[in-house]
Amino acid sequence: MSSIENNKEKLIIFDTSLRDGEQSPGVTLNTEEKIEIAKQMSRLGVDVLEAGFPIASIGDFEAVQRIAREAGPLMEGREKIGQPMTICGLARSTPADIQRCAEAIKDAPRRRIHCFLATSDLHLKYKLKIDRDECVKRAVAAVTLAKSLVDDVEFSPEDAGRSDREFLCHVLGKVIEAGATTLNIPDTVGYNLPSEYGSLIKHLKENVPGAEKVIFSTHCHNDLGLATANTLAGIQNGARQVEVTINGIGERAGNTAMEEVVMAVHTHPTLFPVYHTINTPLFFPTSRMVSELSGMVVQPNKAIVGRNAFLHESGIHQDGVLKNRQTYEIITPESVGVTDIALVLGKHSGRNALRSRGAEMGFNLDETAFQRVFEDFKTLCDQKKNVSDDEIRAIFTKSQPIIHL
């Protein structure tokens, strides 16, 4: 452990790509695909994997069960962590859900039951049709049952971001008494701003009875494009677990993207009071795996893992990157597993980028010949968005001096 890590707390990475991520419209993963992803998550260094919602269907139960047996014990790539990945199942706060969840995860060396119940007055009135006293009663009963089946119990007050803070403190204090070990605070509908969400985490840590006994967790949705910002605000105000997905997949506008949160912490080692144990060079291949198996295409300009994340077309930027990559890159491509990056040559590219590409192709022209190449290149760029390597090679070849034998 480094000297920086000695002075910080571990950030627990809880991945819910296989549960909340699979709720993305149009996404359905079969059991073999889920197991493949689960094993990759273990290699990536994920601390807790939410493998599914066991009571949802026979298929979901069987997938969680096999993940517990086949991915749960794995230690490959986890030497720094020193323990296998915790396998977690989601359950509503009902006995049938909780018992089914316990059965599904029972073969994992490390296991967790994650039960949830809405706490906002909006959800209590219109969805559950119960009052606050009944909410507390159900939450305590759920955690008590879960605790009798496993040691590690997580409780989520659904729609916490819109719940009354005084009531939220009361509910959470009671589930701590019942044995909850992690309290997850969902911004279920992506409503909060970073200042609101950060202050909520801080308020709960300071006002929930027994807060010092548990880990506080974030679970933010991206409806306003603020999931990552809210999650980071949560970390800065005391959260020590983050619930995330690869590529930010999830229902509606998605969840917090794991790669964004981890690399924000990674690039600001003196700003955050936490460290992570994620194997970041596996981000890009993991992103591609999840994209291909889920059918959820990664937008080209997606942070960290998008196709354009390390591409530069502006001539000024290309010139800077050729001289020193740090001029326009805060993360090295290699640190997240990207190894095939090249400058994109188009109408915004400058002379140095074109000359560098020509040198890679084996061309070494004098200034007069290169000027002809550059002019032809710019003419072609006015006709096309991007110019292929074959077209660039043709322009360079045409401008080479003809040798008569």
Rounded Cα distance, 351 and 315, in Å: 8
Position 218 scores a pLDDT of 98
Residue 279 scores a pLDDT above 60: yes
Rounded Cα distance, 196 and 78, in Å: 35
Residue 360 scores a pLDDT above 80: no
Percentage of the chain lying above the pLDDT 70 cut? 86
Rounded Cα distance, 282 and 66, in Å: 23
Instruction: Find all residues with CB under 8 Å of 112, minimum gap 6, and list them.
Output: 48, 86, 87, 88, 89, 105, 150, 152, 153, 154, 182
**Residue of 77, 68, 88, 65 lying closest to 15 (CA atoms):** 88
Position 348 scores a pLDDT of 65
Query: Using DSSP, how many helices (H) and how many strands (E) does the chain show?
Result: 15, 10
CATH of domain 3-294: 3.20.20.70
pTM: predicted TM-score of the whole model, two decimal places: 0.84
What are the extents of the domains in the chain? 3-294, 315-399
DSSP, collapsed to helix, strand or coil, labels residue 376 as: helix
CA angle, 93 then 94 then 99, to 5°:
110
Q: Give the DSSP H or E segment for 355.
A: helix 351-360
User: Contact, 27 vs 61, CB < 8 A?
Assistant: no
Position 319 scores a pLDDT of 47
pLDDT digits (tens, 9 = 90+) for 46-63: 999 999 999 999 999 999
For every residue of 279-338, DSSP letters joined together read: -GGGHHHHHHHHHHHH--PPPTT-TTTSTTTT---SHHHHHHHHH-GGGT-SS-GGGGT-
Residue 276 scores a pLDDT above 50: yes
Confidence of residue 359 (pLDDT cuts 50, 70, 90): confident
The tokens for 153 are 């119990």
Q: Is the dihedral of CA 235, 46, 155, 63 positive or negative?
A: positive
Position 142 scores a pLDDT of 98
- Average pLDDT, rounded, for the chain: 89
To the nearest 10 degrees (0 to 180), the angle between helices 389-399 and 351-360 is 90
Please give the backbone phi and psi of residue 31, each rounded to the nearest 5 degrees, phi first.
Answer: -60, -45
Confidence of residue 322 (pLDDT cuts 50, 70, 90): very low
Rounded Cα distance, 248 and 347, in Å: 32
CATH of domain 315-399: 1.10.238
User: Contact, 199 vs 168, CB < 8 A?
Assistant: no
